[in-house]
Amino acid sequence: MTALIALGSRRELFVDHFLIEHLNEAALHLHPPIRREVVYQVSQPWDNACTGCYNLTQDGDRVLLYYRGFYPIGADYADGAASQTTNLAVSADGIHFKQPELGLVEFNGTRKNNVLIQGHESHNFCVFLDANPAADPAQRFKAVGGTGQSNLHGFASPDGLHWTPVKEGPLDVTGAFDSVNVALWDAHIGRYRLFSRYFDTTGARVRAIQSCTSEDFIHWTQPQPHQYADDVPLEHFYTNATTPCPGAEHILLSFPMRFLPERQLDISAMDYPGSGLSDAVFMSSRDGVHWYRPFMEAWVRPGTDQRNWSHRSCTPAPCLVQSADGEWSMYLSENYGWSTNRLRRVVVRPHGFASVRAGYRGGELLTRPLLLEGAALRLNYATSAAGSLRVELQDESGQPLSGYALEEMDPIYGDQLDAPVAWKAGGDLSGLKGRPVRLRVVLQDADLFAVRAA
């Protein structure tokens, strides 16, 4: 017997098969982001071709962009890790970024720069705004940074500018931290999570992702390697860019940079040549350990810019910025290893990373039995001008409910992020509270991205 899902009033995304009992002439479909404008271009002496590890934090009406600025390459390499910097840029809209003159760190004889810290922790300093309701206001921002084996440090700040270590020495976490390691507050479980890199040595030595949790950001559980379905091949994941999905925080989204060290095109003209090619993939999880990858194809391809066909380009930055109505902003590093190194904004549909899609000939989705709360069923969907979508509510055995049958609903069409569904007799679901129901959705040239009862 199919397990009953207590959907309640939460939003569910079709990024996996969690709600799905059966698909007929329909399938899960991945939606790549749309590339927009370049928002940051390296230009200062304290930036270079290896500027990277971009990560962003949205704090009210400002977006803070943190990134590794100077990284010793070529003749500068003897300076070592101590010369690396973490730099800051600030924006009011997530598009136009300015470099504040902070006066905090001297670089090349001047403090007139946007450098926050300098040292080996700057290699991959990654920040988040702590949403823990019990967090000390003096530690409203938190970060992790540091490279090498088991050498990841924790930091805290009241303003995102002035940082102090949360403890003496590195955090008690094992891993290979030469990556953008991501820490966050998970309100769904009431704990901090840390997603970091390690090397999987069960077969070939492969860059992989692990996670652990903490109640206080200092004492961490033993890291657990990500687990995937048996038919998912092991691939090099250089970074992870993990984030709870806004408005559906029980779902964790991850955008790893996939690295192929054995592939290489012409790198002779690069400022920082290196072997390997990279792109980005998409995956999701409901517990932080078991990760679902129905889409093995790239979420982001290098594209026609030949300078993206190099090592460590196309790296998604951690953070989803809720920008203009109808879109979310994410960010992608490009041209890594070149003097044209930059950060580009990409946009995604809110809750629209994947969908159940049917073509012009039509298809159907049948959900598992659900317990709904709320007075209305609301959908995130898009159709073509000729497409449509209809919904039928069924009992647990698959029989249509009176007043909610397919023939009692006119087809809907359009492009809506959170639209109520109505049948000819209305759309009130309050009488169904506590009663198991299935959703039968008939689609024609349409995508269904998310569903909720509210």
Give me the phi and psi of 350, to 5 degrees please.
Answer: -55, 125
Rg (CA), the chain: 23
Alpha-carbon gap, residue 14 to 20, rounded angstroms: 9
Range from 68-72, 100-104, 106-110, 440-444 carrying the lowest mean pLDDT:
68-72
- Checking if the pLDDT of 1 tops 80, the result is no
Stretch 53-57: mean pLDDT: 98
Stretch 416-422: mean pLDDT: 98
Q: What is the pLDDT of residues 310-366, one digit of tens each?
A: 999 999 999 999 887 889 999 999 999 999 999 999 999 999 999 999 999 999 999
Stretch 128-154: mean pLDDT: 95
Q: What is the pLDDT of residues 255-282, one digit of tens each?
A: 999 999 999 998 899 999 999 999 999 9
| Distance, CA of 73 to chain centre | 30
Q: What is the pLDDT of residues 229-254, one digit of tens each?
A: 999 999 999 999 999 999 999 999 99
* Cα→Cα distances 204→18, 198, 200, 403, Å: 32, 13, 8, 58
Stretch 295-315: mean pLDDT: 97
Predicted confidence at residue 296, as pLDDT, reads 98
Predicted confidence at residue 75, as pLDDT, reads 66
Predicted confidence at residue 47, as pLDDT, reads 93
Alpha-carbon gap, residue 288 to 187, rounded angstroms: 13
Confidence of residue 441 (pLDDT cuts 50, 70, 90): very high
Strand 115-118 with 85-91, pairing: antiparallel
- Checking if the pLDDT of 93 tops 90, the result is yes
User: 430: how many CB neighbours lie within 10 A of its CB?
Assistant: 11
Predicted confidence at residue 79, as pLDDT, reads 63
Q: Is the dihedral of CA 366, 368, 369, 373 positive or negative?
A: negative
Confidence of residue 148 (pLDDT cuts 50, 70, 90): confident
Q: Of all residues in the chain, what percent carry a pLDDT higher than 90?
A: 91
Reduce the DSSP state of residue 78 to 3 states and report it: helix
Predicted confidence at residue 453, as pLDDT, reads 95
Predicted confidence at residue 345, as pLDDT, reads 98
Across the chain, mean pLDDT equals: 96
Taken in order of first residue, the domains within the chain and their CATH numbers are 5-30+354-453 (2.60.120), 34-348 (2.115.10.20)
Residue 250: exposure state from Cβ atoms within 10 A (0-12, 13-18, ≥19): middle
Confidence of residue 81 (pLDDT cuts 50, 70, 90): confident
Q: What is the pLDDT of residues 215-231, one digit of tens each?
A: 999 999 999 999 999 99
Stretch 197-211: mean pLDDT: 92
Q: Is the dihedral of CA 268, 269, 270, 272 positive or negative?
A: positive
Predicted confidence at residue 335, as pLDDT, reads 97
Q: What is the pLDDT of residues 321-337, one digit of tens each?
A: 988 788 999 999 999 99
